[in-house]
Structure 1
């Protein structure tokens, strides 16, 4: 992926906090990852808004069912990891 150098203003305290966690040459990568995460979350929110406009809001029952499915998948993955020879 091509990169472009830009100038951004970041509060000094935040810069110092980041520098405590990463090598000084890793600050750009850390900030780029944070920006990529924010961009992905913004895109996901925009998609959710478009889907809600098209299909209506998710009901409480639908939300509960989705959470139950996610929990079942998490449980399955946990089982697979705990088995001898299972995924790490």
Structure 2
């Protein structure tokens, strides 16, 4: 069962609202906006977690970020069976 809903009045630029309405499709503008707000709240929570971790352990360096991105890339390739530098379309 889904959460009960409440009607709210918000203001936003017309062009943004119309673009969101068009992308909302059959689910509608309200569902599209609710999903966007939920994603933003997840990002806000993640930013808070990062701030706490950096306060405790220090900031993450660009080199550390790049090393983790490379690990993720390699893991994705291994998972998909794609060798580095080769596309899976071969």
> What band does the TM-score fall into relative to the shorter chain?
0.7 to 0.9
Measured against aligned partners, the alpha-carbon deviations of 1:45-85 in whole angstroms (never above 9, x if no partner) come to: 111011000111113332232111111122123328x6xxx
Secondary structure of the corresponding residue to residue 10 of structure 2: coil
Residues 1:43 and 2:45 aligned together: yes
TM-score, length of structure 1 as denominator length: 0.76
Instruction: Give the distance between the partners of 2:63 and 2:21, measured in 1 at CA.
Output: 45
Which residue is equivalent to 2:21?
A: 19
Q: How does 1:1-88 map to 2 (within 5 A)?
A: 1-23=3-25, 26-79=28-81
What TM-score, normalized to structure 2? 0.74
Equivalent-residue separation in structure 2 for 1:36 and 1:64 (angstroms): 28
Partner of 1:86: none
Unmatched tracts of structure 1, length 5 or more: 83-88
Which 4+ residue blocks in structure 1 deviate beyond 4 angstroms?
A: none
How far does residue 24 in structure 1 lie from its aligned partner after superposition?
Answer: 6.4
Distance 2:41 2:26 in 1: 24
**What is the root-mean-square deviation of aligned Cα atoms in Å?**
2.1
Q: Do the aligned partners of residues 29 and 38 (structure 1) sit closer, same or farther apart at CA in structure 2, a change above 3 Å counting?
A: same
Cα distance in structure 1, aligned partners of 2:69 and 2:77: 12
Q: Which deviates further from its counterpart, 34-43 or 13-22? A: 13-22
